[in-house]
Amino acid sequence: MATGTLGGVDTRKIEALFAVESQRYVAAHPRSQSRTGHGIAGFYDGVPMHWMRDWSMPFPFLVESAQGSQLRDIDGNEYADFCLGDTGSMFGHSSAPVAAAITRQATQGLTYMLPTEDAVVVGGLLSRRFGLPHWQIATTATDANRFALRVARAVTGRPKILVFNGCYHGTVDETYVRLVDGKPVHRPGLLGQFEDLTRMTRVVDFNDVEGLRRELAHGDVACVITEPVLTNSCMVLPEPGFLDAVRRLTRETGTLLLIDETHTISTGPGGYTRAYGLEPDLFVLGKPIAGGVPASVWGMTETVAQRLDAVRASTPPGHSGMGTTLSANALALAAMRATLEHVMTEDAYRSMERLAGTLVDGLQAAITARHMPWHAVRVGARVEFICAPGPLRNGTEAEAAHAPALERAIHLALLNRGCLIAPFHNMMLVCPATTDAQVQRLCGAFAAVIDALAG
């Protein structure tokens, strides 16, 4: 690491902290080290999914079990889990209703490409909760976005989509476009794309109404796909009026609006959409919708559904390019029903909201008291600290706010103090089972880590 400062911290202090915390981690994880220290045999890159190498620790620990907001590794270390499977377990690990539904379904067959009674119930639950009348089930948020974008192209007859710089909507090829010096380019690190993705994707900065107006004026964009809050770089909140402008401009230009609520479902039981009265044409939610069982949902308005009917009626029979064999399997529907009926409740959100407020205030207080040029931000139960001043206005600023070496040292130091946060960004989720004591522990650990960096 070059000498100087990163996020206002001397880089020598960052290196020193990381070295000390790495030693501490190794000492506390002998059994995990024996299993993963040289990579797990049989897996490319030593892990079953290469993202598992992207954590801050020298080698991943093996999880023994997780329940509610608590996770335990095979060395007997316990963590207050604020990562929660990077949102997949946002409503707590193995919550009782979901575990019971999985257990019940386990003896009744898991997948048959036919609906069950649970499907009949879930259709109504989705419509009532999110306000759109027509739904489909997929297996990941990536898939749901892919299928919804396909519908947008099919019904508008337009070839392009528009994304906001710094977005992430899963591994959907056409969203892997960034804005650099006002020009669309491929996102760094992208492998194996089959064509120049910038040909089919327009990209503007979040909160840039004029940029959006300019790009939509071409009349070739089928759909704007966005999160209501950018959560996948450093968190960027919409400026007052921005989301209204997005809706107005998309309507004026005959462009559909896809709201991806996969992370902003942290806002409330109906997501940011319901809490702020957004009116999307297409809606996507993945990750926690079935309590951690792989599943996602995508919904559309009556108008979009009718336009889709018309396109299908004029298309020869064949494969739509949407759907996968295990989508809407019986296990996923059972877990989704349990999650919607018993887990994603008003009561659960009340407790998440309260504790997330305590958390963001505690983090901000630690930052302010130590005069760090950082800030803390949240959307509902989703909290982030950012090692740069805020608020951030767009993806360009969010990208510049990242301080990877500093973040890595902080993550590892928090882990060694019993607090697990998300690896790719400084994200912490509060679930219904999170306790006051866990939040206090994280705030205390965060303050201690800043002291170690600044002292």
Ligand X SMILES: Cc1ncc(COP(=O)(O)O)c(C=O)c1O
Which candidate, 5, 11, 79, 2, places its Cα nearest to that of 409? 11
CA distance 118 to 138: 15
Which two structure tokens, joined as six digits, stand for 283?
Answer: 């809606």
Q: Name which of 140 and 329 has its Cβ closer to ligand X.
A: 140
**Among 232, 255, 267, 364, which residue interacts with ligand X (rule: CB under 6 A)?**
232
Q: Phi/psi of residue 80, each to 5°?
A: -80, 115
DSSP lists the bridge partners of residue 224 as 162, 257
Question: What's the closest the beta carbon of residue 27 comes to ligand X, in angstroms?
Answer: 33
Which candidate, 299, 271, 292, places its Cα nearest to that of 338? 292
**Among 21, 73, 174, 227, which residue interacts with ligand X (rule: CB under 6 A)?**
227
286 makes contact with ligand X (CB under 6 A): yes
| The 78-81 sheet, strands edge to edge | 63-67, 70-73, 78-81, 419-420
CA distance 366 to 410: 14
DSSP lists the bridge partners of residue 293 as 291
**Among 69, 255, 262, 267, which residue interacts with ligand X (rule: CB under 6 A)?**
262
CA distance 197 to 184: 9
Question: What's the closest the beta carbon of residue 381 comes to ligand X, in angstroms?
Answer: 15
Cα-based angle 247, 168, 54 (whole degrees, multiple of 5): 160
168 makes contact with ligand X (CB under 6 A): yes
**Among 141, 222, 293, 328, which residue interacts with ligand X (rule: CB under 6 A)?**
141
Using Cβ positions, the residue closest to ligand X within the complex turns out to be: 170
Q: Name which of 428 and 443 has its Cβ closer to ligand X.
A: 428
Q: Name which of 8 and 276 has its Cβ closer to ligand X.
A: 276
Question: What's the closest the beta carbon of residue 111 comes to ligand X, in angstroms?
Answer: 19
6-14, 69-77, 163-171, 404-412 -> range binding ligand X (CB under 6 A) = 163-171
CA distance 20 to 409: 10
168-176, 177-185, 242-250, 405-413 -> range binding ligand X (CB under 6 A) = 168-176
169 makes contact with ligand X (CB under 6 A): yes
Cα-based angle 319, 321, 325 (whole degrees, multiple of 5): 85
139-147, 319-327, 333-341, 388-396 -> range binding ligand X (CB under 6 A) = 139-147
**CA-to-CA separations, 330 to 4, 90, 134, 447, in angstroms, rounded:** 56, 22, 19, 46
Question: What's the closest the beta carbon of residue 129 comes to ligand X, in angstroms?
Answer: 18
3-state secondary structure of 305: helix
255 makes contact with ligand X (CB under 6 A): no
67-75, 260-268, 351-359, 390-398 -> range binding ligand X (CB under 6 A) = 260-268
CA distance 253 to 221: 9
54-62, 196-204, 256-264, 329-337 -> range binding ligand X (CB under 6 A) = 256-264
Which candidate, 55, 407, 382, 374, places its Cα nearest to that of 227? 382
E strands, 218-352, are 221-226, 256-260, 282-285, 296-300
382 makes contact with ligand X (CB under 6 A): no
335 makes contact with ligand X (CB under 6 A): no
417 makes contact with ligand X (CB under 6 A): no
Question: What's the closest the beta carbon of residue 16 comes to ligand X, in angstroms?
Answer: 32
Q: Name which of 87 and 438 has its Cβ closer to ligand X.
A: 87
Q: Name which of 297 and 372 has its Cβ closer to ligand X.
A: 297
142 makes contact with ligand X (CB under 6 A): yes
Question: Which amino acid is located at 148 in the chain?
Answer: A
Binding site for ligand X (CB under 6 A): 140-142, 145, 168-170, 227, 232, 260, 262-263, 286-287
